[in-house]
């Protein structure tokens, strides 16, 4: 291609590209020959995204997971981004396996980072994000809880429940609706384990410690409302004594600034807050119990 043809083709491709992403078919339609296409790929001028989708290295428009989702929508226009990919786009704490997961209809095979999935979606299960369709937050959460490995699903369960993306009622309905489908056993197990308000093994251990000690008057997984606004969702609340007991998991307290602001708000509202780690619950249960009992005595006096 001569320089003039290259300029025209480049301008046309920029016009056709979606947020900087294009397919090889779009490049050919813009005027690039197969040889010119091969040259740019070999030289690294065009960087592979997923499938047959590429991006010019000078394009600043998108990075990472969003770029992959746009590329997936160009390769499989009727697809819906789902599972891990959708979860990451919704800000959920899941592992990025490097693939782009898409619900498709018809026959599709995995293709250069694109992974097809075949399950039914209802109209309310999807929404638009940028130029592509994606499963909604509740539908994404349900699919991930059902299909991710257990350790990830359990961690995600605590995250979505504390943010009220899913309720116990939602999970109960999903277990019924998905009867016989892959993943329903895991959903049922998660529902059973968390029905009492303990959203992790650490919280279940704390509950057993309190019950075995004969402590009463506490409630699990409670909202704290201050001035008509929910300011926190706490693991254990002794309401009468205004005592909060929390398991200090790394995931729940990753945002240092937000966590400090939350603690200050609770303190100013008159709550005492005790926080314990997994290590303390396992290795020092008597110390944990002694501190809780001391705080209860102090509140009573």
What pLDDT score was predicted for residue 230?
Answer: 84
Say whether both 123 and 225 belong to one domain.
no
The per-residue pLDDT for range 92-115, each reduced to its tens digit, is 999 999 999 999 988 888 889 999
Same domain, yes or no, for 11 and 53? yes
Contact 144, 126 (CB under 8 A): no
Domain count for the chain: 3
Do 171 and 272 reside in the same domain of the chain?
no
Question: Are 80 and 187 in the same domain?
Answer: yes
Cβ atoms of 100 and 71 closer than 8 Å: yes
For 19-50, what is each residue's pLDDT tens digit?
Answer: 999 999 999 999 999 888 988 899 888 999 99
The residue ranges of the chain whose pLDDT is under 70 are 1-2, 61-62, 249-256
> Is 274 found in the same domain as 171?
no
Looking at 45, 65, 85, the residue that finishes a domain is 65
> 264 in a domain, yes or no?
yes
Strands (E), 118-217: 126-129, 132-135
Same structural domain, 61 and 117: no
List the domain range (segments joined by +) for residue 280. Answer: 201-300
Beta strands per DSSP E along the chain: 21-23, 46-48, 53-56, 80-81, 100-103, 114-117, 126-129, 132-135, 218-226, 229-238, 243-247, 272-276
The reply to whether 174 and 122 lie within a common domain is: yes
Residues 29, 86 within the same domain: no
Q: Are residues 209 and 190 in the same domain?
A: no
Joined together, the tokens standing for residue 63 give 């990075």
One domain for residues 82 and 60: no
């Amino acid at each position: 291609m001569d320089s003039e043809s290259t300029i025209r083709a480049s301008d046309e491709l920029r016009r056709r590209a979606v947020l900087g992403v294009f397919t090889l078919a779009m490049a050919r339609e813009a005027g690039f020959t197969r040889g010119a296409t091969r040259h740019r790929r070999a030289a690294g001028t065009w960087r592979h995204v997923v499938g047959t989708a590429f991006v010019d290295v000078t394009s600043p428009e998108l990075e990472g997971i969003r770029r992959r989702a746009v590329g997936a929508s160009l390769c499989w226009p009727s697809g819906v981004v789902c599972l891990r990919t959708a979860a990451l786009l919704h800000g959920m704490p899941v592992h990025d396996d490097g693939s782009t997961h898409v619900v498709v209809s018809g026959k599709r095979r995995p293709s250069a980072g694109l992974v097809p999935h075949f399950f039914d979606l209802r109209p309310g299960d999807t929404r638009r994000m940028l130029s592509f369709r994606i499963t909604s937050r509740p539908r994404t959460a349900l699919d991930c809880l059902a299909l991710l490995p257990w350790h990830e699903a359990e961690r995600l369960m605590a995250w979505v429940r504390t943010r009220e993306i899913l309720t116990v009622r939602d999970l109960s309905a999903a277990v019924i609706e998905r009867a016989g489908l892959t993943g329903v056993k895991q959903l049922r197990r998660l529902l059973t384990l968390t029905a009492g308000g303990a959203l992790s093994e650490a919280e279940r251990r704390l509950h057993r410690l309190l019950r075995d000690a004969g402590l009463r008057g506490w409630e699990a997984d409670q909202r704290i409302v201050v001035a008509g606004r929910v300011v926190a969702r706490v693991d254990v609340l002794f309401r009468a004594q205004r005592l909060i007991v929390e398991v200090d998991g790394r995931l729940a307290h990753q945002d240092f600034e937000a966590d400090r602001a939350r603690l200050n708000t609770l303190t100013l509202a008159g709550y005492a807050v005790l926080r314990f780690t997994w290590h303390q619950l396992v290795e020092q249960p008597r110390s944990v119990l002694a501190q809780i009992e001391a705080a209860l005595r102090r509140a009573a006096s």
